[in-house]
Amino acid sequence: MERWQNKVAVITGASSGIGAAIAKEFVMAGLKVVGLARRTHLMENHKMDLPSEKRSQFIAMYCDVSNPKSINDAFDLIIAQFGGVDVLVNNAGCGQADQLSTMNLDDAQKIVNTNIMGVVYCTQRAFKSMKDRHFDGHVILINSIAGHQFFPGVPLKLPAANIYSPTKFAITALTELYRQEFSGLGTKIKISSISPGVVDTDILLKDLREAAGDCMLQPEDVSKAVLFMLATPPHVQIHDMIIKPMGEVV
């Protein structure tokens, strides 16, 4: 991790769950972390959980990743204050229980904008910052097992995850697309995807939480795997890592 000391890592969706856990993991590993989220007060609360000497290494910043202007404003500020983006973790995501056949299409569009276009917007800004500075950075996408096989939800119940799984399939495709583009554009910027199984976060649907019981990953399980991805030598690129709790059956 020596080459990442005091480098700037931007983490979307850093107000809770996996994003908050990754932010803490990175700060403790020596990076300067800019957390992006709408709920800045939660990020400020998480900062107080850090050792006092580390708190200045975590900066909470407002950003709505479904809004291109909000993203541009945040990245402009990050570049002005810190000089550039060295690591990007696209973690922000959303979903809601409903059926795609009948749900409000504005709600479906919000999920697409957050889970797909938010990744595209943020990655483009981060990639430009890395390429312009000739820095071999790392972009990490928080995917899901739902991005590898259709995830209907709880067995014998009407599927309720609607367009969430298709958005994660898009992340799987984007990972390979970015790998080819980053290389083809003459950079050594890494792209990695991590696909967790059921994780104990507030995005988890109620029925799925009940079906999973105690068989769930904790956000810290994922954050430690993400740190492992970042710590790989320059010639090693983890393309996609699947991480599941022991005994997962849902």
Residue that is written with structure tokens 């975590």 in the block: 58
Q: Taking a C-beta distance cutoff of 8 angstroms, is the pair 60, 35 a contact?
A: yes
DSSP tag of 42 = H
3-state SS class at 89: strand
Q: In this predicted structure, what is the pLDDT of residue 152?
A: 63
**Which pTM value belongs to this model?**
0.94
Q: Which segments of the chain are extended strands (E)?
A: 8-12, 32-37, 58-62, 87-90, 138-142, 190-196, 240-243
Q: Per CATH, the architecture of 2-243 is what? A: 3-Layer(aba) Sandwich (3.40)
pLDDT digits (tens, 9 = 90+) for 112-125: 999 999 999 999 99
The mean per-residue pLDDT over the stretch 153-181 comes to: 90
Domain spans, the chain: 2-243
DSSP symbol at 24: H
Candidate from 42-46, 130-134, 211-215 with smallest mean pLDDT: 211-215
The CA angle 158-193-56, to the nearest 5 degrees, is: 110
Active site residue 164: yes
Cα dihedral 76, 127, 83, 57 in deg (nearest 10): 90
In which band, very low, low, confident or very high, does the pLDDT at 126 lie, cut at 50, 70 and 90?
A: very high
* Amino acid type, 153: G
Question: What percentage of the chain reaches a pLDDT higher than 90?
Answer: 84
Catalytic residue from among 62, 121, 164, 178 = 164
Of 126, 124, 162, the C-alpha closest to 146 is 162
How far apart, in whole angstroms, are the C-alpha atoms of residue 102 and residue 235?
A: 48
pLDDT attached to residue 65? 97
Q: Report pLDDT digits (tens) over 180-211.
A: 999 999 999 999 999 999 898 877 777 777 77
User: What is the overall mean pLDDT for the chain?
Assistant: 94
Residue 250's pLDDT is 62
Collapsing DSSP to helix, strand or coil, 35 comes out as strand
- Quote the DSSP letter at residue 65: T
Q: In angstroms, how far is CA 76 from the centroid of its own chain?
A: 20
Looking at residues 154-178, what average pLDDT do you find?
90
197: nearest Cα among 244, 136, 230, 234: 244
Of all residues in the chain, the percent with pLDDT exceeding 70 is 96
**Hey, what are 147's tokens?**
């991005």
H-type alpha helices, the chain:
17-28, 40-47, 68-82, 105-112, 118-132, 164-184, 206-212, 219-230
Look at 55-59, 65-69, 132-136, 155-159 and tell me which has the smallest mean pLDDT. 155-159
| Phi/psi of residue 46, nearest 5 degrees | -65, -35
209-225 per-position pLDDT tens digit? 777 778 899 999 999 99
Alpha helices in 185-233 (DSSP H): 206-212, 219-230
